Amino acid sequence: MSETGSIGAVIVAAGRGERAGNRQDGPKQYRSIGGRAVLARTLEAFRNNPQIAKTVVVIHRDDHELFTRAIEQTDGPGSLIVVEGGAERQQSVLNGLEALESAKLGHVLIHDGVRPFVSNELIDRVIGTLQSGEQAALPVIAVSDTLKKSEAAKHVDGTVPRSGLYGAQTPQGFSYRDILDAHRAAAEANKSDFTDDCSIAEWVGLPVALIDGEPENVKLTTARDINVADEKLTFATAGTHLPDVRTGNGYDVHALVAGDHVTLCGVDIPHDHGLSGHSDADVALHALTDALLATCGLGDIGDHFPPSDSQWAGASSHIFLEHAAGLVAENGGTVMNADVTLICEAPKIGPHRADMRSKLAEILGIAVERCSVKATTNEKIGFIGRREGIAAIATATVIYRSNPNG
């Protein structure tokens, strides 16, 4: 295909995701669904389509770090162009289109970074419509609910006939030059209230062809949308609706000795003592490793990493948890949740809880919502109460596609 006729994509991901709620792990496009960031999945969908020659992703200026982490969950950045977005979606799209100007595209597809379930067939359908001569292609779903109108959102003012009404999806496809000119004209006219790109095409008088959208191609807008997407992908990985659910628990304890920090759930915490014992003596990761191994009856951490083996002295305990998670996966298991309780008088766990949960999520490759870290003191009773040691109890739940021991 000649350079002039090639097809580009603009993926907008610079929004703040206000309706999904602000959270520590960033706006919705960086939340984990089925173990990978929403945006990583969306970008992969476009990368996997051989017809797309050039892709630009538009991100928020504060999100470079989050974006780098999301990209690590794909095959890498490749020739992806990254630009910063604006205050409104419309501005973000324009920035993305401008960044593609030197690519001499024939057509461009504009897509929401938060529609990760876009299928290859839908991308092909949009491209096919453009290649058949249409100037703009819009995937839609006919409205199927009865529509009510209400100004005050209290009582119904009337019923809107739904015939001829459609919900608009992305990717929306255009002749590159037409949509760039239309966006520039809208910016020049200070019109900034367009919620999709076809509205801008309509505003400049371009004909927009309707094509079939896909019900699965939802826009993740609310926290519920994200939870539903995570469940859908997690169950798809588990590959079953009659799950073989296994629960495992683990317990570990290590002595407090002279030192200046402890490592718990993979997080280094400054402390007036250190922990002694196997590897970095991270009781939490050791207990959780045992809990995971228990779900498939594969013994305990000592069987896999004997304390007598000097290669594990001082080792970082995430190696053990990763290994256990790998065995679970090899046996057809999907980790549904991990729960750790730390039992210690000090240090305080609360300030580190979020980092610990993120660390567990990262090691296990699951959403942070599926990881829990709790702490309790031992009410100054016994060896823990006397600050002689720290203990951890862990529970893991895993769904197996088939009997792991069968």
Q: Binding site: which residues?
A: 252-254, 278-279, 286, 300-302, 376-379, 383, 386
Among the listed ranges 14-22, 205-213, 302-310, 382-390, the one in contact with ligand CTP (CB under 6 A) is 14-22
Task: Name the 3-class secondary structure at 352.
Answer: helix
Q: Which residues of 178-204 are buried (b: 16+ CB within 10 A; e: fewer)?
A: bbbebbeebeeeeeeebebbbbbbbee
Q: Of all helices (H) and strands (E), which one includes residue 124?
A: helix 120-131
Contact positions with ligand LQXTBERG (CB under 6 A) in 327-346 = none
CB atoms within 10 A of CB 397: 19
Among the residues of 210-336, which ranges form H helices? 223-238, 283-295, 301-304, 318-330
Cβ proximity to ligand LQXTBERG, 170 vs 234, nearer residue: 170
Regarding 219 and contact with ligand LQXTBERG (CB under 6 A), the answer is yes
Q: How far is the CB of 118 from ligand LQXTBERG (least distance, A)?
A: 11
Regarding 386 and contact with ligand CTP (CB under 6 A), the answer is no
Regarding 90 and contact with ligand LQXTBERG (CB under 6 A), the answer is no
**Binding string, residues 180-199; x marks residues near ligand CTP by CB under 6 A:** --------------------
Say which residues have a Cβ less than 8 Å from residue 237's Cβ, sequence separation at least 6.
34, 35, 334
Task: Name the 3-class secondary structure at 65.
Answer: helix
Residue 92 contacts which entry, ligand CTP, ligand LQXTBERG, none (Cβ below 5-8 A, type-dependent): ligand CTP
Determine the Cα–Cα distance for residues 157 and 15; give it in Å rounded to an integer. 33
Give me the amino acid identity at 166.
Answer: Y
Cβ proximity to ligand LQXTBERG, 45 vs 391, nearer residue: 45
Among the listed ranges 141-149, 163-171, 183-191, 241-249, the one in contact with ligand LQXTBERG (CB under 6 A) is 163-171
Contact positions with ligand CTP (CB under 6 A) in 99-118 = 112-114
Residue 262 near residue 275 (C-beta atoms within 8 A): yes
Regarding 23 and contact with ligand CTP (CB under 6 A), the answer is no
Q: How far is the CB of 46 from ligand CTP (least distance, A)?
A: 13
